[in-house]
Structure 1
């Protein structure tokens, strides 16, 4: 039976250092490549634009009636439409057009 090859402590440390350096270099390269590409502007779908417009109309109507606080209720549209438009609605209601 042959004896296993023994590796010294220095060899393990050198191998570990090389792997760490390679990982850091790869991470830096990936961050540089993703930072240089601009993100495409997200377009709002027609359904989401309609949902946000309905929210604006309901909020304007409640404001004209002199109500300070109220609940905006949506009676039409599927639940998946509202789930898809969560970010747009949240942005509008929080004041980020």
Structure 2
């Protein structure tokens, strides 16, 4: 059986250092390339924009009347419609827009 190639301790440490550095560089490159692309801003439909404007008006009216610290509840959600504006309302009032 042939004798294995003997390496000094320094050579082994240097080889492991090079392999670790290459692995870290490859990982960083993969993480940078797999970052999701920013989503283009979706436009709000006319119906949703109207609902948002109506809610904003009611909030302003409640604040003028001194009821700005309370909670307003709206029950205009139309279940089963294609455009129920749920996501648009959530994004708008969360401050995402």
The TM-score normalised by the length of structure 2 is: 0.51
The TM-score normalised by the length of structure 1 is: 0.51
**Residue aligned with 2:18, SS:** helix
**Residue aligned with 2:75, SS:** coil
Instruction: Return the structure number with greater relative CO, CA threshold 8 A, min gap 6.
Output: 1
Q: CA RMSD in A?
A: 4.1
**Residue aligned with 1:69, SS:** coil
Is it true that 1:43 corresponds to 2:42 in the alignment? Answer: yes
Q: Which residue of 2 aligns with 1:62?
A: 62
Stretches of structure 1 that go unaligned for 5 or more consecutive residues are: none
- Any conservation in 1 of the 2:59–2:68 contact (CA below 8 Å)? no
Q: Which residue of 2 aligns with 1:23?
A: 23
Q: CA deviation at 1:30?
A: 5.4
Kindly tell me the number of residue pairs found equivalent between the two proteins: 87
